[in-house]
Amino acid sequence: MSAARAAVGRLDDALARLEDVFLVAAHGIIAALVLLAVILRYGFNNPITWGEELVVGLFTWMVFVGAAAAIRSHMHIRIDVIGGLLARPGLRWLNLVTLLVGIAIIVIMLWACHEYVMQELVVESPMLGVSKAWFAAAMPSGLLLMLVHVLRAWMERGAATVFRGEAETLAAGEAEAS
């Protein structure tokens, strides 16, 4: 089991580095394209016709890769009315149920997104002239990254910590320090 844990950890670390580099690069490209588009449109009355499609596509990728990065670093928002109950000794088994439901949702969404990408293969974007599947692939890619991050967190720290948000992580750290 520890060999599997180490392999998942190495994979997750490599994917995390790629995520971070991609997010920074995509953000920079989007900012440059928007700035260039504004200058060309209003300064020279010569707009970039394909720029908006590329910006929307990159932003779509940023959303889904960013969601995976948020899961990895516990920066996601969890709205939970029963979070306090899960810390009680008699109800800790609900953490595993919550984790398994979360994994099931990710897997079901992966399947549905795969179907959507397959449908988009034949649709071409009007300005860029590429298959819209390139943009739609952001969804299953982000979900797959989430699944790897969730599995690593589960293997290393247990079910209770996987979907814990930043505030809960900070509160747990303060409680342990006291």
Q: Structure pTM? A: 0.82
pLDDT tens digits, one per residue of 41-80: 899 988 888 888 999 999 999 999 999 998 888 776 665 5
Dist. CA 172–CA 116, nearest whole Å: 40
List of residues 6+ apart from 87 with CB closer than 8 A: none
Nearest to 70 by CA among 173, 142, 155, 151: 142
Domain ranges of the chain: 2-169
Residue recorded with tokens 């247990």: 158
Beta bridge partners of 124: 131
pLDDT tens digits, one per residue of 132-166: 999 999 999 999 999 999 989 888 887 777 776 65
Cβ pair 145, 19 in contact under 8 A: yes
